[in-house]
């Protein structure tokens, strides 16, 4: 996943502005990670079901670490985004980064109640 992140989020390291197409790619990347988390937690495999893969051939994701791994991966991505924001000069890129960071935080907060566990 780190190679994929390096490619999709290359602007975090280079400081370049993110064009409209790449902003869409980055938003879809995060949305797909949340979909993966949801499928892992619920034990569903939507893509397999849509394409008619027999149930016995679907990957088993329940009781796996996939959901928690993706959750912590998203937390780390959010931290990388937050670190990059102060040095961004392009207004659209800065707003995009803020939006993605807020999306990750709010969606993770709705899944995990960190405050109740003292894990903020």
Run of H or E including 39: helix 20-42
Secondary-structure breakdown of the chain: helix, strand, coil percentages, each rounded to the nearest 5: 75, 0, 25
Residues with Cβ < 8 Å from 101, sequence gap 6 or more?
78, 81, 82, 85
pTM: predicted TM-score of the whole model, two decimal places: 0.77
Residue 112 scores a pLDDT above 80:
no
Q: Which two tokens stand for residue 72?
A: 């912590």
Q: What are phi and psi of 62, to 5 degrees?
A: -70, 150
Express each pLDDT in 43-96 by its tens digit.
Answer: 665 555 555 556 555 555 555 677 778 889 999 999 999 999 999 999 999 999
> Which has more pLDDT, 3 or 76?
76
Express each pLDDT in 4-30 by its tens digit.
Answer: 888 999 999 999 999 999 999 999 999
d(CA 103, CA 105): 5
């Amino acid at each position: 996943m780190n190679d994929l992140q390096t490619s999709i989020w290359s602007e975090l390291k280079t400081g370049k502005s993110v064009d409209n197409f790449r902003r869409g790619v980055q938003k879809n990347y995060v949305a797909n990670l949340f979909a993966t988390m949801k499928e892992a937690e619920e034990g569903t495999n939507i893509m397999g079901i849509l394409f008619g893969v027999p149930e016995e051939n679907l990957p088993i994701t329940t009781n796996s670490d996939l959901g928690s791994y993706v959750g912590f991966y998203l937390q780390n991505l959010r931290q990388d985004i937050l670190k990059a924001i102060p040095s961004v000069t392009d207004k659209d890129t800065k707003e995009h980064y803020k939006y993605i960071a807020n999306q990750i935080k709010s969606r993770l907060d709705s899944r995990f109640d960190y405050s109740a566990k003292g894990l903020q």
